[in-house]
Amino acid sequence: MSTLLASAVLWLGAIQRVWGIIIDDPADLPLTSFDYVIIGGGTAGLTLANRLTENGATNVLVLEAGRGNEGDLPMPIPFMGPILSPETQYTWNYTVSPQVGLNLRTFEYPRGRVLGGCSSINYLIRQFGTSEDWDRIANLTAEPTWSWANMKQYVQKYDKIVQPLDGHSITGEYIPALHGFGGNVQASLPELSFPIDARVMATLNQPSSEFQYNNDTVGGDQIVLGVGYVQNSSGEGTRSSAYTGYYLAAAARQNFVILTSATVLKLVQTGTTANGLKSFRSVQYAHGTLTLTVTAIREVILSAGAINTPQILQLSGIGNAVDLRKLNITVLINNPAVGSNLYDHTLLPNIFVVQDAVANQTFDDLLRNQAQIEDQINLWIANRTGLFINNIVNHFGFSRITLDPGEEDPAPGPNSPHYEMIFANLFFEKPGPFRPDEGSYFTVGTMLTSPESTGTVKLASADPLAPPIIDPRYLTEAFDIIAMRESVKAVLRFTAAPAWSDWIAGRFGAAFQNATDDASIDAYVRTLTISDMNPVGTASMSMVDDPSGVVGPDLLVKGADGLRIVDASVFPRSPSTHSQGLVYLLAERTADIIKAAQVSSQPPTNQCNANLLCCGNTETANSASSLLVLLGITVSDGNTIVGLSCTPINVIGVSGNSCTGQAVCCATVESNGLVAINCSPVNLPS
């Protein structure tokens, strides 16, 4: 456990716990079926749940595999972002497969497994995407409402700029007209000035400098190229996430329910529509030793992220038929696009050694000193002062490389970047808080923001609890290695400015020291590049009739009924900026799409054909806590679905029997109605 995390754990009880409607026992669920079941309580999932439950007649259940984050002190502290992953209780602790473009290296690939998802554990940086990012989505889907001209309206719902705690002026650091001031997620400019800030700005002020100041880096109507101040998802010295911004704002609503520690195993087909679409309105999940099922009356919404969403689809029989049959998974919808088209940003930490005369101005010694860390935590708790109210970075910049004539541009347009530089006053390697035992350092991270390389997310086995195979295939396209090479050269030009002459002593590490020409820079890049962990694209949007995508412009899964995907997996290409803000905007827009569909249609009538009972919950006969075992009832197949919480059906005529949104129909009642067997999912005709 890192020094930072160990200190933070001492203070777990320092924040008031807000339980609201978060429950951790399926027996406490107030309903057996909900209008919407959202899989994943992360950035998109909690945003959607908030907006859908604005209508008090709409019931929403969010299934979150992880825990709540109430009272867990590390998460709200902005400076502690780096210690929240990997290998913590808040993450899916994945690894990437050996990467051909990175000398067959593999490394940790954490994803958020906590309420708020990655918005609760990330490095807080937020942007809206460039206008060209959104316009490209509109073009690829032939749906103009995804263009920036339409999407910008959602900034006001999501964004809330707040002033610094000490009231210092941020005039010139951002453009107020680009922002919202009454949205759900707080955003702020840096609370504190760091020792390197003046040097960054002095470099920009050189008369002949190629690096220009940008007075707002958020994107949208503002071109992001240039160097400017980082904007953070935080306010008043505290992280602002989907949990704090969207859940807490709706915590009093009785129609908004969250079940934690609920790991989704698969989606269950509940019928077939008249036009041949397979309906998926039942979700099977594990909670402790129990295997349970919950039903959605209107829709199941997958918001599990770009890694877990394609995993769940494939476990449910939706994916590449060839791959699924190899694992003996019944193919329900053959779509090879599921789990393909994985884009991700790469990150290279370019680390410099700082001169002895200024060594005490970096943060490295502080972060090695337990007593100083605890002092900073105490300041944060007492009155939101001290270093920890700030992110670890204050400035970043975006640039493009020069393309050859006729060369295809992987960026969405000429005003969108190819790479990023980000400036940190410490030794910084991601993921994790590792740093040498001694020395002082300055890091300029370079990130490839418009990659061409694509990879896959595939199942390792049919076991839903087994981690998927994540193969991003980093730097396997020529453009990507060229852009990363040029980003390193840009760092060397930036740090050659006079402002750094009394700060930088030299490069850290042999690979960086030996990077003197194109070939050696490429070798350095392949040796030390890691991921910035912004995966997208694995359930991508496309035109309605385009078989290359997984969802249409309305984010409904192609070939399916009652199933929608709302998370970063639907972006067809990598955004050229940090992706967090785009996911919030995506969820806000999709909430409006769903609400419009609500108005125009009535929920389907659940049909139970000629069976006897409708049951709201289920278990398998061989589960450890099965009532069949307690009742002495034996069935030949241990995987038999057993119905619980059963009631007699209401006959509605020859077309079937009304189940009012329950999960299964059962033909045989046992033990005076305690349980039922011979069950099958209810039919949900369109």
Q: Residue 383 to residues 80, 236, 388, 532, 566: CA-CA distances in angstroms?
A: 17, 10, 11, 32, 38
Enumerate residues 6+ apart whose C-beta is below 8 A from 17: 70, 71
CA distance 84 to 79: 10
* Backbone CA torsion sign across 272, 560, 303, 535: positive
SS3 call for 259: strand
**232, 126 contact by CB (below 8 A):** yes
The whole-number pLDDT of residue 618 equals 73
Q: Residue 619 to residues 103, 509, 630: CA-CA distances in angstroms?
A: 47, 56, 13
CA distance 630 to 641: 16
Count how many residues are written for the chain. 686
Q: What is the DSSP letter of 152?
A: G
What tokens appear for 282 in the block? Answer: 């039942």
- CA-closest candidate to residue 78, choices 236, 243, 247, 228: 236
The whole-number pLDDT of residue 15 equals 36
Backbone angles phi, psi at 549, to 5 degrees: -105, 175
The whole-number pLDDT of residue 74 equals 82
Enumerate residues 6+ apart whose C-beta is below 8 A from 438: none
**442, 355 contact by CB (below 8 A):** no
Q: Residue 133 to residues 252, 398, 418, 491: CA-CA distances in angstroms?
A: 36, 15, 12, 25
Full-model pTM: 0.86
Burial 600-620 (b: 16+ CB within 10 A, else e): eeeebbbbbeebbbbbbbbbb
**131, 416 contact by CB (below 8 A):** no
Q: Residue 21 to residues 80, 92, 253, 254, 273: CA-CA distances in angstroms?
A: 27, 24, 8, 7, 34
CA distance 658 to 603: 13
Beta bridge partners of 618: 643
Report the amino acid identity of residue 247: Y
CA angle (270 as vertex; 265, 275 as ends), nearest 5: 130
CA distance 12 to 70: 9
Backbone angles phi, psi at 242, to 5 degrees: -60, -30
CA distance 63 to 208: 55
86 preceded by a cis bond (ω within 30 of 0): yes
Report the amino acid identity of residue 652: I
Domains in the chain and their CATH numbers? 86-103+179-234+343-531 (3.30.560.10), 613-681 (no CATH)
Q: Kindly give the interhelix angle for 43-52 and 580-600, rounded to the nearest 10 degrees.
A: 30
What is the Cα 213 distance to its own chain's centre?
Answer: 30
Find where tokens 């002495």 sit. 632
**642, 627 contact by CB (below 8 A):** yes
**40, 242 contact by CB (below 8 A):** no
Backbone angles phi, psi at 235, to 5 degrees: -160, 140
Binding-site residue positions = 114, 264
What is the bridge-based pairing of β-strands 60-63 and 419-424?
unpaired
CA distance 293 to 299: 15
What tokens appear for 635 in the block? Answer: 């069935």
Backbone angles phi, psi at 605, to 5 degrees: -85, 125
CA distance 359 to 456: 43
Mean pLDDT by 10 residues, the chain (686 residues): 46 37 93 94 98 95 90 84 78 95 95 92 95 99 98 98 94 97 98 97 90 98 98 96 96 95 97 94 97 96 98 99 98 98 98 98 93 93 95 97 95 99 91 76 98 99 98 99 99 98 98 98 98 97 94 98 98 98 99 90 56 70 69 71 68 46 68 68 52
Where would I find the beta strands (DSSP E) of 4-50?
22-23, 33-39
The whole-number pLDDT of residue 1 equals 38
SS3 call for 562: coil
What tokens appear for 506 in the block? Answer: 């030299």
Report the amino acid identity of residue 332: L
Element (H, E) at 444: strand 441-448
Beta bridge partners of 677: 668
DSSP string, 210-270: S--B-S--SEETS---EEEE--BSEETTEE--HIIIIIGGGTT-TTEEEE-S-EEEEEEEE
Biggest distance spanned by C-alpha atoms of the chain: 88
Binding-site residue positions for FAD = 114, 264
Enumerate residues 6+ apart whose C-beta is below 8 A from 147: 134, 135, 137, 138
CA distance 584 to 589: 9
